[in-house]
Structure 1
């Protein structure tokens, strides 16, 4: 179900209580064999499951089994999977590595650091690319991430709406690039063959079937790209090329006097 892969699909009030939880919000009258179980432990177990098998492997029952409790015990800590997904998202956002911005650091380097940090996060937690985040949970992780990443655009002469839009544009590119890279990794894994190996295996047949006179541009450009990529596709090349174009586009928004900061 789409709902089970979307953020913000649970009870908003209960989700916010859990996101900003403290000792006073801990559930009373805990049941089950694990009296020491906490919301934190539940979220940690859920993240580990998703890291190992993706969102398809994540269910309240699977989390309960991992923790050695019954599903009913788990529901005394987290109302359901929708709220759990929000807690998982906020946790990995809170813990992600963040590059410190030096006062005199060029803006392109700051923005590139934001992009690289988010790419690394997707590759560390591939299930994030499967999650629809239209309404992000406004927890400490989401807010810390947003505050930090806006700092890459601070002082560049952009108004507040432009800063928010620039960040959203950057993160949208990173998510798209990460999805493509994760898809490529999945194809390699499922076929037990890398792009380079696939190309070597099929090159003789393609050479016999492919008409270079009929497709002169495709032949020339395709061959050049295959050599550059060392295969049919290079996630690193695509990411680097795309990020450079995003930075070039953002540069058009920045007043000349602020661009050197």
Structure 2
């Protein structure tokens, strides 16, 4: 593809560039991503990209925003109740992670301050406050929920769902005893069960405050 010069827009805008970057990372992985490679993919000079995104860091943030916007567009309206809202957020976040596993680490490692991310959190916090949960519990809830979601999803995206490492019962008898109960590693059933544990913990703390 012939490369356009620095001053040629090629019909680019911030959204088009970010969506192309997501497609490139989905295909080739985050480690291989760079502005020059993206420029080659779009057939433009790298400076055409920098005209819209002031550096690679800004572009990475825009990529995070693109996939979150996609997630919320698919999610529809949240249900009533804070537990149902938390499940709604968690289930769609999990779906996003599996749809964009190469992009997902950006959601974990970069601060998510785009309006779409703040809107989702605001809905969750609003549902919790409406239900009468103490503000201290409400303030801690996003970190509790997303600490679980980010850690768990990063782990399972790098593993083999439905499998667990073999454990030598002679050396690790307690691990071996519970290993059969971990055979659904990475499955939706396990995700739902662990999510239940997290939400039960938030509920219990609210009741005891």
What TM-score do the two structures reach when normalised by structure 2? Answer: 0.79
Is 1:148 the counterpart of 2:123 in the alignment? yes
Structure 2's unaligned 5+ residue stretches are 1-5
Structure 1's unaligned 5+ residue stretches are 1-29, 189-193, 200-205, 257-261
2:177 to 204, 220, 226: 220
Q: For the pair shown, which has the larger CA radius of gyration, 1 or 2?
A: 1
- How do 1:80-229 residues align onto structure 2 when only pairs under 5 Å count? 80-96=55-71, 97-102=74-79, 105-131=80-106, 132-133=108-109, 135-136=111-112, 138-185=113-160, 195=163, 212=170, 216-222=173-179, 224-225=180-181, 228-229=183-184
Residue equivalent to 1:6: none
**Structural RMSD (CA):** 3.0
- Does the 8 A contact of 2:81 with 2:127 survive in 1? no
Higher RCO (CA 8 Å, separation ≥ 6 residues): 1
Instruction: Provide the C-alpha distance between the structure 2 equivalents of 1:117 and 1:154, rounded to a whole number of angstroms.
Output: 22
Is 1:50 the counterpart of 2:25 in the alignment? yes
Shift in CA distance, 116/91, structure 1 to aligned 2, threshold 3 Å: same
Equivalent pairs counted in the alignment come to: 200
